[in-house]
Amino acid sequence: TSKSPCLPRLVQLSHLHTSPNSQAPVPALPEKGGKTRHGIIPEEIFQLLYPKTGVTGPYVLGAGLLTYILSKEIYIINHETFAAACMGTVIIYGVRKFGPDVAAFADKLNEEKVQKAQEVKDLAMTSLAQAVLDEKKEQWRAEGRQMLFDAKRNNVAMLLETNRRERVHMVTNEVKKRLDYQIALQTLHRRMEQEHMVNWVEKNVVTSITPQQEKTSIAKCITDLKVLAKVQQAKATA
Amino acid sequence: SLDRFPLGEKRLMDVKLGELGSWLGKRDFTPNGVLASIRNGHDRYYNKYINVKKGGIGGVAMLLVGYVALSYMWEYDHLSEYRLWEYDDLRVPTTYNIIHLKAL
């Protein structure tokens, strides 16, 4: 029966959100409920009658009503009245005596429930915050991709360079070997020619020495040696 | 100050006494409307007295007192046999007391 919720003081919306799209947090439960006097009469009755009848108004109203219903026998006193009175006494005594303890116990239970939910929420918050930090770290890491690619590019360039230099060395060595071979070949040629020529000249000279020349040279050598020996002897004795 | 709002949407306490009949006529008595009003009343009572952090016995006690009163009203015809005096003539005791209570 609620038609338009924006007009003031109309039929009240319920306490919690009804639309699924609302992002606002749910408001907390109220601390205390509606006040009641003596546990069964809402405080509003007393507030209603206070301007006209003061503080004792509702009590006088209650007393008058009680007298009326008793005298007209709208409330009939029978055996159940006694049972109701006994039960009422016991209930009131029990509530007065054990009420605060039971309330404290119930509050403790509620506390524990709330604490458990809070723990779950805190755990979820910390884990999600940690996940956010990790995600940021991953994003920072992803920015370093450029450096990774540069390093890889450097590696590849170095490999290519090494390969090129190896091949250049190989080419140099091969060419040098071939040139060395040619040089060795030429040296060999020259040496062989030289030796051959020396041998040929020697042979020719040796064959050109006639026996006559040989005899005269030997005789000269002997006379030279004798002179040298005489000179040496003279030197030794002198 | 509340005159410019349509009559059917005002609350009971804001309706003037003379307009009560027409206000009652404008209320929604379809089954859906009745269910909605029951749900509304339940939500108001529940959110005011029970769905709180530190509720007292008032929330439950009022329901129990209401239940006691309602059951007394439903049993009144049966209980009226145990009356002490007849309604019309207060000097005459009821038949139950004449037959069953020898002390009278």
| Interface-testing mutation among B29, B62, B77, B80, with chain A (most A C-beta atoms within 10 A) | B62
Tokens 């030794």 belong to residue: A236
Nearest to A73 by CA among B90, B58, B99, B8: B90
Per-residue pLDDT tens over the stretch A51-88:
988 889 999 999 999 999 988 888 988 888 999 999 99
Give the DSSP per-residue string, A96-147.
HHHHHHHHHHHHHHHHHHHHHHHHHHHHHHHHHHHHHHHHHHHHHHHHTHHH
Are A32 and B53 in contact by the 8 Å Cβ rule? The answer is: yes
Distance CA B53, CA A157 (A): 74
Looking at residue A144, what is its pLDDT?
A: 85
* CA separation for the pair A13, B47 (Å, rounded): 11
Enumerate residue ranges in chain B where pLDDT < 70: 87-90, 101-104
Angle, alpha carbons A122-A124-A129 (nearest 5°)? 95
The answer to whether A76 and B79 have CB atoms below 8 angstroms apart is yes
The percent helix, strand, coil of chain B (3-state, each to 5) is: 60, 5, 35
Q: Which of B9, B50, B82 sits opposite A76 (nearest CB)?
A: B82
* Contact status, residue B36 vs residue B54, Cβ threshold 8 Å: no
> How far is Cα A162 from Cα A232, in angstroms, rounded to an integer?
77
Nearest to A202 by CA among A194, A190, A213: A194
Distances, alpha carbon A53 to alpha carbons A47, A56, A102, A159, in Å: 10, 7, 37, 106
Q: Are B58 and A39 in contact (CB under 8 A)?
A: yes
pLDDT at A13: 54
DSSP letter string, A141-190: HHHTHHHHHHHHHHHHHHHHHHHHHHHHHHHHHHHHHHHHHHHHHHHHHH
Q: Under an 8 Å CB criterion, which residues of B touch A?
A: 2, 5, 8-11, 14, 27-28, 33, 36-37, 40, 43-44, 47-59, 61-62, 65, 72, 79-80, 82-85, 87
What's the mean per-residue pLDDT of chain A? Answer: 88
Q: What does chain B come to in residues? A: 104
Residue pair A13/A5 in contact by the 8 Å Cβ criterion? yes
Say whether B84 and A77 touch across the interface (CB within 8 A). yes
Residue count of chain A: 238
pLDDT: is A56 or A28 the higher one?
A56
Greater confidence (A212 vs B74) lies with: B74
Q: Which two tokens stand for residue A117?
A: 């939910």
| Confidence label for A28 from pLDDT (cuts 50, 70 and 90) | confident
Note the pLDDT tens digit of each residue in A114-170: 999 999 999 999 999 999 999 999 999 888 888 899 999 999 999 999 999 999 999
CA dihedral of residues A162, A165, A166, A167 (deg, nearest 10): 130
- CA-based radius of gyration for chain A: 67
Closest Cα in chain A, distance from residue B2 (Å): 9
Q: Which amino acid is at A120?
A: V
The encoded tokens of residue B13 equal 């306490």
Task: Give yes or no for A31 touching B (CB within 8 A).
Answer: yes
Q: Which A residues, 89 through 118, put their C-beta within 8 Å of a C-beta on chain B?
A: 95, 99, 103, 107, 110
Q: How many CA atoms lie within 13 A of A210 on its CB side?
A: 3
The pLDDT of residue A77 is 87
How many Å apart are CA A171 and CA A232, to the nearest integer?
69
